[in-house]
Chains A and B, each alone.
Chain A
Amino acid sequence: VLEVEPQIIEQFVRSGEVKLVYRHLSQIGPASELLAEASECVADQGRFWAMRTAIYAGQGDLYDNTQANVALLADGLGLSGEALNACLAAETHRAMVQADNAAAKAEGIRTRPVFRINDQQLIGAQSFEVFAQAISAALGR
C-alpha cells in the first residue's frame, strides 16, 4: 500500500481518471475493528486518508496498546487524540465498521487485500504494473 498506492494516485487519481474507494475489513479481530473505527473517527475530522496511511506506516506498533498508539498517530497528524478517544468510547462508528465487514463477506471477500477495478478483481498485494495494466484496460487503452 505504502509503495504502490502513491504511484496509482499520482498517475491515475490526480488526473481524475480513477477514484479510490476503501472498504473496511476487520478479519483480525477487535484490534483491527478498533483501528477501522479510529479511521472513521478521524474521518470526522477530515483526515481519513492521511490516517489510513499513518496506520499502515505504524502498523507494527498497533497490535498492542492499540487505542493509545492510534491516538498518538492522530496527535502526529495534528488531530485531537482526545476527540478520537471520545469517539471510540462512544462507539460512534462501530456498527458501521461491522456492517462494512459483513457486507464484504456477503460479496464473497474472504481474504485481504482484495481489489476491484471496475469488474476485474485482484486478490492479494500487487505491483504497480499490474494495477496500471488493469486500470488502463478499464480505461480502454
Chain B
Amino acid sequence: MIARVLGVLCIAGALVACGSAVGPAAERFATPPPAATTLPSATAEQAPPTTVVAATEAPPAAPAGRATAVPQEENGLQTSRTAEGYQVLGNPAAAVTLVMYSDFL
C-alpha cells in the first residue's frame, strides 16, 4: 500500500515537473492563441509606426481628377506633379521654376 502511494506520488511529481518544463516551451513556440488580453495591447503598440510609415509613403493628396503623383522619368529627367497637380519636368527642388501657360493649338 505504501509502495503504491509512493508510486502514485512519484508519477504525479514527474508530471508536475514535466508540465513546468513544457509550459514555457509551449509559450515560446506554439502559435499564439487569439488571446483577447495580449493582442489588443500588442496591436496598439504597433499602430503608431505603421501609421507613420503609411503617412511617409502615401503620395500627397491630388486635387480631384488628377492622377496620383508617382515620380517617373522621361528622357533621363524626373517627372512629377506639383502639390496642385501640375506637370513637372526636372528636379522638383530646383532653385528656379519656369511655369509655362500654354495651349496645344
| A residues with CB within 8 A of B | 1, 8-9, 12-14, 16-28, 31-32, 35-36, 39-40, 43-44, 46-50, 52, 55-56, 59, 62-63, 92-96, 99-100, 104, 109, 112-118, 131, 135, 138-139
Contacts and interface: CB of A to CB of B under 8 A. Distances in A.
Contact of B74 (A46, A56, A114, A117): A46
A43 B98 CA distance: 20
The range of chain B's interface size is 20 to 34
B47 interface: no
8 contacts: A20-B89, A22-B86, A25-B103, A35-B105, A43-B67, A48-B79, A49-B89, A109-B101
Interface secondary structure of B, over-half rule = loop
Contacts of A99: 63, 65
Contact of B88 (A19, A35, A36, A113): A19
